[in-house]
Amino acid sequence: MTTIAIIGAGPGLGVAVARRFGREGYDVALVSRDQGRLDALADRLAADGVRARGFAADVRDPKALAAALDAATAMLGPIEILQYSPVPHRDFMRPVLDTGPEDLVGPIEFSLYGPVTAVRQVLPGMRALGSGTVLFVNGGSAVVPHAERAGTSIAFAAEGAYARLLHDTLAPEGIHVAQLIIPGAIVPGHHRKDPTVLADTLWRLHHERHGFRHFADDLDS
């Protein structure tokens, strides 16, 4: 079996997705900035029978992110599924009239340069496999810009445009690209936005391989 790399892995959605895909036999590469936290998550998953390893990298550091994905491939095997779902920093969410050019550097590095780096790193392996899935996870401001969250609204829109271009371009090669929009917060116990429910949704996007943009819940919820 091949590997799913979860960029932005944490104790909520990241662990739920790792368990869901691990249950299907995939190895799991967990990527975020804190190696100690990743090791603790990997130990939790091992108790559930999931083979997972942590690879520390900041998504705003292209060399570190590329190296983490290379290390994951070397240790776990080819990356067939890439999920890009890091949680944006709070300081990316300034009101639009308080947002200058310098305030957009971080959001663009985070939500555009990061996924471009990750996709370019794993794409050769997917092409060699003859299949692959890239899953982008974004908040509602990716489709409905929010004036009080200008940085993420602008950067998520750019990420969505990039993802859509990938979807259209890579489909003939058997590589499926999809975007899941999660309006508002991830809410444990919610019938549509609980981490386990969202993990099932992401599994279906990978397994059923149809359409580009999907919504975890109504935009006005």
Sheet holding 175-182, edge to edge: 52-56, 27-32, 3-7, 79-84, 132-139, 175-182, 213-215
Residue 25 is assigned to a structural domain of this protein: yes
Sorted by sequence, the CB contacts under 8 Å of residue 193 that are 6+ apart come out as 182, 184, 185, 186, 187, 216, 217
Residue 67 is assigned to a structural domain of this protein: yes
Answer yes or no: are the C-beta atoms of 214 and 180 closer than 8 Å. Answer: yes
The CA-based dihedral angle spanning residues 7, 4, 116, 97, taken in that order and rounded to the nearest 10 degrees: -40
pLDDT digits (tens, 9 = 90+) for 152-170: 999 999 999 999 999 999 9
Q: What percent of the chain has pLDDT over 90?
A: 95
Residue 220 is assigned to a structural domain of this protein: no
Q: How many domains does the chain divide into? A: 1
> What is the rounded distance in angstroms from the CA atom of residue 189 to the CA atom of residue 93?
26
Q: Which two tokens stand for residue 97?
A: 């009239």
pLDDT digits (tens, 9 = 90+) for 24-68: 999 999 999 999 999 999 999 999 999 999 999 999 999 999 999
- Quickly state the pLDDT bin for 1 (edges 50, 70, 90): confident
Residue 221 is assigned to a structural domain of this protein: no
| Whole-prediction pTM | 0.96
Answer yes or no: are the C-beta atoms of 25 and 1 closer than 8 Å. Answer: yes
Segment among 33-42, 84-93, 105-114, 188-197 with least mean pLDDT: 84-93
Residue 46 is assigned to a structural domain of this protein: yes
Residue 84 is assigned to a structural domain of this protein: yes
Q: Range of 122's domain? A: 3-215
Answer yes or no: are the C-beta atoms of 161 and 119 closer than 8 Å. Answer: no
- Quickly state the pLDDT bin for 221 (edges 50, 70, 90): very low
Answer yes or no: are the C-beta atoms of 68 and 122 closer than 8 Å. Answer: no
Residue 193 is assigned to a structural domain of this protein: yes
CATH code where residue 107 lies:
3.40.50.720
